[in-house]
Structure 1
């Protein structure tokens, strides 16, 4: 199979957009595929396309092609962000099409269609990049057999691409078997219920209602693991932490002891229109660690958790949250039963499972 990305793939990224290409590439390897990479900057991709063309010419078979998009228009992914190779990646799609190879691309998101985008970039720049985004999607309509999207809900917001081209491909997770604390019934009655949130905190990731609820309910603790600079920028809006909220700045292997301490992981953040269809990578990271999830009702994360019985969705309201936390504090068997469901079902949501799904889906489109 061919794996395409208009940038180098590798390294240790902590963002969802950086994690996904690395994990999907590894997922294809782990699923047993012989992977031909067409990744890197333009010069590297051009050389890889030439090598691929030679292999196809001499009769080598490629089962399918899968691509990962950038957060910026593909033609701007050089380090100087100038469109110096505007037709390079389209030439790859045409080459594959001539040889009957099913072609697919994962399309990350459509934040560029929302007003917040013009708040982050200059309006003149936004006008130019939006033109490029639209052009890229028109090319997808012509050149691709399948466009994978984070969720079914986002499909209706993506212009130009045909509905039948789009298929949901949410993020995946990696299975981690962290130690579990086994409590006796007596210990369970007195031990605090511990929530864990791992990720950014900002004006976009607002958790004030959760903080208020945790502070109200005796016997509940929250561990907030967030980058130090993010916390410094926001700590003034969370003035009274009390003894029930612990702020840490771990990453990598340093997260394992936090997951071991956690009974439940949290994606309780203030809802927004974008979260109606956004599929957060952290949801599947939590599932991979075998932890049940508390998520905001009305968001895609909340609906996913409820549909899989992997946790609970709750209104983003301090009173509603306090009530749910008090219930879970006193219903430890319910928490443990939900934990067991997550641990039993998490293999369905790994990156390897996502890679195998792509292979099976595209095999159905192969007309050779």
Structure 2
């Protein structure tokens, strides 16, 4: 296997590989090169020497590296060639001119095309590795060593995260992994509970074959007009992460276009470079925002009114099938925009229509929560496919008796009065209500007369819900039916199913229809007497609840996020394959 190893580090450390330059990552690099030499791989190791130290760097007696632009030294083993290349000036690791100069230096050295690129150390190595990977299509791995962090510049941090997100594999010890995952959704990260050089080197080498093999996987673009959050709290931000991860699990190399307008423009430029270099992109999939593209990020982060239209036009011109999950049409319902100032409302209405015009003009395929939503889109029909939320299969114990769980909102749009009243009328039922603390502080007092000692109100984040599902024997999705809910598909429905819980949902809503169609629970008219009657019947005949639970545990495997990603890919590539 041909490997290009790129390392960079300017902090003081314990061992000097180049005279005048202390290398903190030297023990790790020693372990990596030792193991690569033992494997017999053909390795070229590039050391990025900080520009301010380049003139003072001289090869020492125990040096592994020779300086100069075209000098090679076989100091580590017969299969490993190591040489130094001048790195960027401080704070300039994202400079395109430096990366171009470094790439020219590598070509001048006559480096051969590698099967995989490995970046070890600071952001300079990661930036160059990512750039070379984009230009060549060669997958790259990133070893993020303890203490490594991008510079304080927000732009540098964003570029650091976006580069990591395109790595075939990321290696980090557990503490470093936690820091990275707190900032970015990194689904290719492999964690080590041991930060010793031996452990990290072993972990790297155990994954290098898979990383190199990923070059043969199909590539796609994943677009979102906002930054993919590390720990999203709203359903509209959780879904893009789930789909991104599902495409990776389905075996795709995913090139991302996301973030604020400037970052999206840079991601788009990298996508164009890939295609210009002859790389094939099978399709582009987009998750839109509940806001129009123009307003999907803060105006303080910049505006790019035509960027998404340019992406659409480029995909159409290049023959890349483009599909977008069109999340919502709440803007078509005046009652849902009462709190929006008139001027902003008018601007949003215009921007939404421009977005839809672009999707039609450049022949995009729409994915909708349900096909019933299509009739509410203004203008001519657009080719559409239903792509509801997916289920994440997770195990949970079954609560005793009729232990109910509601996870959702309260207040206008989330009326739970009849649900609470029905539980109060049913002595055999208990209920845990998990709602946002701020919402309960604002609206909770309106429910005082409906609460009883069998109702517990809790506040918890999405990653803290497991204990409540362990206590539940059924989950509630009881909302007042209206026109909007005839086509809306709550993510919570599939979260309930993913935990293998039977669902009690309101009749005359699409969620209730889906519960009936999938046979994973019960739909009931949204009034307290009807709900109470159903709860009493389930108490008298608990086998009905167990049958629904068994169906949910079976059906969830057919409703996963991976199934949704596969559906999107099959729809978008059907024309190309035909």
TM-score, normalised to structure 2, is 0.60
Is the contact between residue 117 and residue 126 of structure 1 (CA under 8 Å) also seen in structure 2? Answer: no
Which moves more between the two structures, 262-271 or 9-18? 9-18
Is the contact between residue 243 and residue 561 of structure 2 (CA under 8 Å) also seen in structure 1? Answer: yes
Q: What residue number does 2:353 align with? A: 134
Distance 1:70 1:253 in 2: 23
Q: What residue number does 2:409 align with? A: 200
Q: What residue number does 1:187 align with? A: none
Distance 2:421 2:396 in 1: 29
Is the contact between residue 76 and residue 82 of structure 1 (CA under 8 Å) also seen in structure 2? Answer: no
| 1:189-215 Cα distance to aligned partner (Å, 9 max, x none) | xx5301101121121100111111111
The Cα shift of 1:134 comes to 1.1
Q: What residue number does 2:444 align with? A: 235
Structure 2 unpaired stretches of 5+: 1-219
Is the contact between residue 297 and residue 303 of structure 1 (CA under 8 Å) also seen in structure 2? Answer: yes
Shift in alpha-carbon separation, 1:77–1:253, aligned structure 2, 3 A: closer
| SS of equivalent residue, structure 2 residue 273 | helix
| 1:296-326 Cα distance to aligned partner (Å, 9 max, x none) | 0000100000000011000001111111010
Distance 1:118 1:234 in 2: 20
Q: What residue number does 2:418 align with? A: 209
Distance 1:300 1:3 in 2: 28
Distance 2:491 2:401 in 1: 27
Q: What residue number does 1:36 align with? A: 255
Distance 1:31 1:270 in 2: 38
| 1:82-129 Cα distance to aligned partner (Å, 9 max, x none) | 973111111112222222111111111111111124312111211121
Residue in structure 2 matching 1:320, options 527, 530, 538: 530
Distance 1:246 1:117 in 2: 30
Larger radius of gyration: 2
Q: What residue number does 1:249 align with? A: 459
Distance 2:300 2:359 in 1: 21
Distance 2:556 2:573 in 1: 25
Q: What residue number does 1:366 align with? A: 576
Residue in structure 2 matching 1:175, options 393, 397, 404: 393
| SS of equivalent residue, structure 1 residue 120 | coil
* Cα root mean square deviation, aligned: 1.6
The Cα shift of 1:367 comes to 6.5
| 1:41-71 Cα distance to aligned partner (Å, 9 max, x none) | 1111111111111211221111111001111
| SS of equivalent residue, structure 2 residue 547 | helix
Residue in structure 1 matching 2:494, options 284, 309, 312: 284
Distance 2:483 2:353 in 1: 21
The Cα shift of 1:14 comes to 2.1
| SS of equivalent residue, structure 2 residue 323 | strand
Is the contact between residue 75 and residue 82 of structure 1 (CA under 8 Å) also seen in structure 2? Answer: no
Structure 1 unpaired stretches of 5+: 182-190
| SS of equivalent residue, structure 1 residue 35 | strand
**Where do 1:212-361 residues align within 5 Å?**
212-240=421-449, 241-361=451-571
Structure with greater proportional strand content: 2
Distance 2:416 2:372 in 1: 24
| SS of equivalent residue, structure 1 residue 238 | helix
Is 1:12 the counterpart of 2:222 in the alignment?
A: no
Is the contact between residue 401 and residue 473 of structure 2 (CA under 8 Å) also seen in structure 1? Answer: no
Q: What residue number does 1:106 align with? A: 325
| SS of equivalent residue, structure 1 residue 215 | helix
TM superposition outliers: structure 1 runs of 4+ over 6 Å: none
Distance 2:378 2:489 in 1: 19
| 1:159-181 Cα distance to aligned partner (Å, 9 max, x none) | 12524x11111011211112335
Is the contact between residue 265 and residue 292 of structure 1 (CA under 8 Å) also seen in structure 2? Answer: yes
Residue in structure 2 matching 1:90, options 309, 318, 340: 309
Shift in alpha-carbon separation, 1:161–1:169, aligned structure 2, 3 A: farther
The Cα shift of 1:283 comes to 0.4
Distance 1:63 1:259 in 2: 39
Distance 2:283 2:463 in 1: 35
Q: What residue number does 2:366 align with? A: 147
Which moves more between the two structures, 271-280 or 291-300? 271-280
Distance 2:421 2:471 in 1: 21
